[in-house]
Structure 1
Amino acid sequence: MLPAMANVNQESQPQAEVVVNVTSTIEFTGSSPQNKTGVLIKAKALILPILMNLHAGYFRISLSLCSQALLWKTLSEPPSDGGAGDIHSLRKMLHRLPSTAFFLLWCFALFTLVSLSLIYVVRCFLRFDMVKNEFLHHVGVNYLFAPWISWLLLLQATPFFKPKTTTAYYLVLWWVFVVPIVALDVKIYGQWFTKGKRYLSGIANPTSQMSVIGNLVCARAAAQMGWKESAICMFSLGMAHYFVLFVTLYQRLPGSGSIPAILRPVFFLFFAAPSMASLAWDSISGNFDNSSKMLFYLSLFLFISLVCRPALFKKSMKKFNVAWWAYSFPLTAMAMASTEYAQAVKSTEAHILMLILSGLSVLVLLLLLLCTALNTTLLLPAADDHDGDHSSIVS
């Protein structure tokens, strides 16, 4: 490679400078210049596009997988009390779901989350300017909650220990994952409250509900551990801001931060928040009472309202994008809420609804996995396609 590059004319001076720098690095390591040059160039060509294009929005993938693992764990658990007739038989059938399949799904979710987390940590060190731009972006900042939500969901779905029997492990991990969420809450909610650079009426968008979902997931994890006061604290924090945010988004105030058409799948977060709220309050109160049912009914109504308007998502479905993964997590959250609802109501209709929503959630996840496997080049394009602008953050 070096002889070929040595024959370039004087007009290709930038290439000659690159060769000198690479050669000096290789000589310092004491290895073969010819072999190391090719390895470094290939490594740079492989890693740089990933660091340039993998933003926090990619944690939608881990969010979907971790929530799906939690759904499978919920379905495979035995019913808390006996049922009658077909309902009891259905619960026993779901309890026979293959434990190996659930374990493999949990391991796959863990592998995906660890991989994305490590890559993003490297991005923080090598491309901190892009991470800073993402934090300042009205859409990108909300997905900084996604990795911590994913870890909390994975913690609740773990097959290795239960929160009430091994509180020490659960408690330590809970604090590790909750502290970043609280820190982001203080930063974002404080700016909303004091009308700083990010006043709510100017930057509110559907992805802003990620902060609310983060607080509700924290509350559910704390309640399962037996920390009722911490759970109520996180629940009240999330719900107070959810009501304000929901009204702001509902009114479509002038100047409100809009999102591009390609991001319209995030509208599904409208019913993800009340679904997680119903699950959180179920864990806090100890039963799926009327408050949990009302939140579940709200999520079901919002879901039907969005499904009845397919034209809203027409432009976003023309070309595959990582934003498609925004469909999966809300459906899975509502499916988990439907399982608790069916357990509380004990009616055939409730169990049929649970099966429909759970099946739809699994089907959407499988389709997204297939589309992602067939379009990996679209998810991580060449480095010169996006030069660190906000287009890579919101897509």
Structure 2
Amino acid sequence: MDGSYLGSPATSQTTMAAAAAAEAAASLKRRSIPSSSSISMLTRFHAGYFRISLALSGQALLWRTLTGDGDGDSSSSSTPMVRSLPSAAFLLLWSLALLALVALAALYAARCLLRFPAVRAEFRHHVAMNYLFAPWISCLLLLQSAPPFLRPAAAPYRLLWWAFSLPILALDVKVYGQWFTRGRKFLSMVANPASLITVIGNLVTARAAAKMGWHEAAVAIFAVGAAHYLVLFVTLYQRFPGSDSLPAVLRPVFFLFFAAPSMASLAWDAIAASFDTCCKMLFFVSLFLFASLVSRPALFRRAMRRFSVAWWAYSFPVTVLALASAEYAQEVRQAAANALMLALAVLSVAVTLALMLFSALRTADLLPHDDPFDCPHLPM
């Protein structure tokens, strides 16, 4: 065939017309469907991002406790410097925590609508599904630290408690039920430190019920959480194959080891109306586990190489430990206990501020393409 035929004007015009038609069709297709970037973002977004709201909600409760704006008399254990903090600072922090929770909930609702297969896959993931408790825990923490217009004796408080507690109880039936009934998900194979979030959900619910004066409900929910905490703790302590399946980037969730007994001490304190011997034992166990983890920085070295949303798992456990130390200091009224409370509170605030700063400066790392919770088999 003659080479001049290939470069003829008619052929060039035909090629250009075909290219223009293809470009127009592609443009029409792009306008008719959601942008691939937004779909990709919803695919990579998961319930693990509620670590952020969990951390901020815990901070709001800590600040309310230390500034003496709570329902009890926790302010007696606070230093004059802490009590002198303006109430506007607490309101600002509480509003920020609420805003973060609402924003994350809206994103997750969009994910449920547009990427439901990814949500279903997340529910079946042995680590990711535990964070489905996190938004409801955040709601209960915000409820307990709410400004004075929302008190435990008020009817809206009780309605909100039911709204936030029922999903946790439903998830309890689902998660705990599949552990001891016949099925494929044996606890020794799926248990991991993130599973402790399920226990924390029960303990936060029990504490909120006790604040309303619902003693029997609080004891019942506490009993469920305590029973499963013992089983989980023994299982994780024996390091079965399932407990070693946690990716290195998620090792900050090991801090949940001392978050659970810390929250248990707070819940029992609310039930018994005093920081009794049982609360003290749980608090001392938390301190021991905290010391055991912070003395092994090599365990978290790989997780600290690059910023990720998993870093937010450091904040909430330290905050709960600081809350427990505040109740302990109020009970014993000793200088050493007050110093410990102040040190843990400062550490908690410093960790949260550092995480907020990293999140603002490293926004590109908040939605990485190699997240352990990703579902790569799903279309983007």
Say yes or no: TM over 0.5.
Answer: yes
The one-character-per-residue Cα deviations of 1:90-138 (angstroms, maximum 9, x if unpaired) are 5444222210111000000000000000110011011000000000000
> Would the alpha carbon gap of residues 96 and 316 (structure 1) be closer, same or farther in structure 2, given more than 3 Å must change?
same
1:204 alignment counterpart: 191
Matched, 1:59 2:50: yes
What is the 5 A alignment of 1:310-349?
Answer: 310-349=297-336
Say whether the 8 Å CA contact 1:163–1:224 is kept in structure 2: no
Q: Give runs of aligned pairs for residues 265-304 of structure 1, distance below 5 A.
A: 265-304=252-291
Q: 1:12 Cα shift?
A: 9.2
Residues 1:216 and 1:391: Cα distance change in structure 2 (over 3 Å) = farther
The one-letter code sitting in structure 1 at the alignment partner of 2:63 is W
| 2:40 counterpart residue number | 49
Give the corresponding residue for 2:209: 222
What is the rounded CA distance, in whole Å, between the counterparts of 2:364 and 2:357 in structure 1?
14
Q: Does 1:130 align with 2:118?
A: yes
> Which one-letter code corresponds to 1:332 in the other structure?
T
Q: How does 1:69-218 map to 2 (within 5 A)?
A: 69-77=60-68, 80=73, 91-166=79-154, 168-218=155-205
Q: Percent identity?
A: 56
Distance in 2 between residues matched to 1:291 and 1:226, nearest whole Å: 20
Instruction: List gaps (5 residues or longer) in structure 1.
Output: 1-5, 26-39
Q: What code does the residue aligned with 2:119 have?
A: V
Code of the aligned partner of 1:19: S
Give the drift of 1:53. Answer: 1.3
Contact kept in structure 2, 1:53 and 1:392, CA below 8 Å: no
Per-residue Cα deviation, 1:304-339 (whole angstroms, up to 9, x for no partner): 000000000000000011000000000000000000
**Structure 1 residues 47, 386: CA separation in 2 closer, same or farther (over 3 Å shift)?**
same
Q: RMSD value over aligned CA atoms?
A: 2.6
What is the TM-score with the length of structure 1 in the denominator?
0.86
Distance of 1:111 and 1:81 partners within structure 2: 26
Measure how far apart 1:11 and its partner are: 7.3
The more displaced of 205-214 and 192-201 is 192-201
Unpaired runs of at least 5, structure 2: 1-13
Decide whether the 8 Å contact of 1:324 with 1:368 is kept in 2. Answer: yes
Of structures 1 and 2, the larger Rg is shown by 2
SS, match of residue 280 in structure 1 = helix
Q: Secondary structure at the match of 2:35?
A: helix
Q: 1:19 is matched with which residue?
A: 27
Asked if 2 retains the 8 angstrom alpha-carbon contact of 1:52 and 1:386, the reply is no
Q: Deviations over 1:31-56 (max 9, x none)?
A: xxxxxxxxx8xx72553232121100
- Structure 2 distance, partners of 1:391, 1:225, is 45
